[in-house]
Amino acid sequence: MYRILLLKPEKAFVEGRFERGIDLLVSNGRIEAIDREIEAPKDCRTIDLSGKILLPAMWDVHVHFFQSGIRMNSFDAAGLSGDSLFSAMSDWLEKHDEIDGYGLSPLRDGELPGRTELDRISKKKPIFIRRVDGHSSCANSAAIDIYGEKLPGLESSELVDGRFFGKSHIALDRFSLGRISECDLRKAAEAVAKNALSMGCANIGALVPNVRWMRVLLDMKLPVNVIPRLETLDPSEASNLGLSKVGGCMPMADGSFGSHSALLSKDYADRPGCRGTAEISQADLNRWFAEASKLRFLPAVHAIGDAAVDMVLNSIEALESDDRPQNPRIEHAELLRDDQIERIARMKISLAMQPVFEKLWGGPDGLYSRRLGERWRQTNRFRDLIDAGVIIAGSSDSYITPIDPLDGVFAAVNHPNPAQRVSLSEGIAMFSSMAARSEMLFDDRGSIQIGKSADFVVVSGDLDKRENISIEATIIGGEIVFENGGESDE
């Protein structure tokens, strides 16, 4: 019997609360005992955790899995705008044959550069780059010549302008990603797993956009726990692969605030007359939920604006009570009204939310305020949702923001709207026990409890003050899979 004794962490987050002065005994990958003093059994390895903090291994339930790894080796426009952006593009093209990039964030949330501007950088080498929110993009003439020929259904006005939104953007993005080889997909997956472990993240909800990529993922043995979810409008595709989860960002009820495509019940503050775009009809969404429920899937749908959330709630309510899906989930749910929170709680819908969005775009001077006006106070309502009994599963939406669960915890604790802040314990639960509940895996993992998988993250620093925080080790099933300074083979 393989045993490890974890001795006296400064404090450990046990069953949702911090405990001090305890030992933990792990046997064959499971937590066998938690007590004040545990005598080391024969042939037991001991690990001294004095001065360290022991948390349940972290979760990130909404990760665009392969795209996250692909972005690591692609042109990244994060933090660039204006002349610095164009200069970086020119430098990249001196060494590469194209730009297929990510992370574009126009100054003050303005317009993306268009075809004419990008042609000034290069007319011969293709340039295609996605906005930071992943819901719009821009391209130069060389890219449009390639993509336009392959995708004849693109809007003519967008082809002329070089700025793409909604279905056109999705078509371009999926076509671009479809060119990636299986070898590069495997490298991307390995990079994501390695990065996640270094952030204390042992459980990844992997959103995968097509069957080919999903087959690659299912064939891989990775050092993290991967929970696969096929993004498809045809749930039978997921059934044929033997999956239990379907959806994510396909179906997509709407777009994003940054691209003015999140579907709202009232006009955008900075664009009167605009309320965003429904990316699927109510009838088609109803049919999708009915099919997913018939196949007994755990379904998830992207909905950011309150009118898009209405669409999802209406689809679920349209089903007979006995036919409703088990543990349905809404991805993002960034803008909610009081009546929607009540409906979500009543129907036991869980939410996959991204607290770091508030850190990046929240508050009276952020993107939410510019797009929504005073409705910024209704974005990412963590406090109200938890008080209503709703399960919030923490995530990053990587590749949109990096996998970093503790950053997400601190973002929830320090929400720019004080009325929506959560406690440190609640923030940790969002990225551990509540995440596990949303994936229906809480019986096996997600908290430090006797009988559960021995999945931990060892942290140094002061969590309360958020000072000098460092991930020292990530442990899955009693095996150290990451140690500060490098991965471990132990």
* Contacts of residue 253, Cβ cutoff 8 Å, sequence gap at least 6: 263, 278, 279, 280, 285, 301, 302, 303, 308, 309, 311, 312
Phi first, then psi, for residue 100 (nearest 5°) are -125, 85
Alpha-carbon torsion, ordered 309, 391, 398, 248, to 10 deg: -50
Which ranges of the chain have pLDDT less than 50? 489-490
* Contacts of residue 352, Cβ cutoff 8 Å, sequence gap at least 6: 61, 62, 205, 300, 329, 330, 331, 332, 393, 395, 438
Residue pair 61/185 in contact (Cβ under 8 Å)? The answer is no
Query: Is 315 in a helix, a strand, or coil?
Result: helix
- Candidates 256, 228, 221; CA nearest to 244 is 228
Which residue in the block uniquely carries the two structure tokens 């001294």? 48
- Can you give the pLDDT at residue 146? 87
Question: Residue 106 burial (CB < 10 Å; 0-12/13-18/19+)?
Answer: middle
Please name every residue paired with 302 in a beta bridge, in sequence order, or none if there are none.
Answer: 252, 331
- Can you give the pLDDT at residue 490? 42
Residue pair 478/57 in contact (Cβ under 8 Å)? The answer is no
Which CATH class name applies to 76-177?
alpha beta
* Contacts of residue 356, Cβ cutoff 8 Å, sequence gap at least 6: 396, 401, 404, 407, 408, 411
Per-residue model confidence as pLDDT tens digits over 135-163: 999 999 999 998 877 776 777 788 889 99
Q: Where does 111-246 have alpha helices with state H? A: 115-121, 141-150, 156-161, 166-177, 182-198, 211-218, 235-240
- Strand ranges inside 239-281, DSSP E: 245-252
Per-residue model confidence as pLDDT tens digits over 362-387: 999 999 999 999 999 999 999 999 99
Residue pair 59/392 in contact (Cβ under 8 Å)? The answer is no
Q: Helices 166-177 and 65-72: crossing angle, nearest 10°? A: 70
- For the chain, give every domain's residue range: 1-56+459-490, 76-177, 182-444
Where does 1-56+459-490 sit in CATH, by number? 2.30.40.10
What DSSP letter does each residue of 428-478 carry, written as one string? HHHTTHHHHHHTT-TTTSSSB-TTSB--EEEEEEETTTTEEEEEEEEEETT
Q: Helices 306-317 and 282-294: crossing angle, nearest 10°? A: 50
Which residue in the block uniquely carries the two structure tokens 């991204």? 354
If residue 18 lies in a helix (H) or strand (E), which one and from where to where?
strand 17-19
- Can you give the pLDDT at residue 487? 55
- Candidates 483, 486, 474, 453; CA nearest to 28 is 453
- Can you give the pLDDT at residue 350? 98
pTM listed for this prediction:
0.94
- Can you give the pLDDT at residue 1? 59
Which fold would CATH assign to domain 182-444? TIM Barrel (3.20.20)
Query: Is 61 in a helix, a strand, or coil?
Result: strand
If residue 27 lies in a helix (H) or strand (E), which one and from where to where?
strand 23-27
CA distance 382 to 208: 27
* Contacts of residue 346, Cβ cutoff 8 Å, sequence gap at least 6: none
Which residue in the block uniquely carries the two structure tokens 């821009």? 138
CA distance 182 to 185: 5
Question: Residue 465 burial (CB < 10 Å; 0-12/13-18/19+)?
Answer: exposed
Query: Is 203 in a helix, a strand, or coil?
Result: strand
- Candidates 284, 205, 303, 204; CA nearest to 245 is 205
Residue pair 453/56 in contact (Cβ under 8 Å)? The answer is no
Please name every residue paired with 23 in a beta bridge, in sequence order, or none if there are none.
Answer: 35
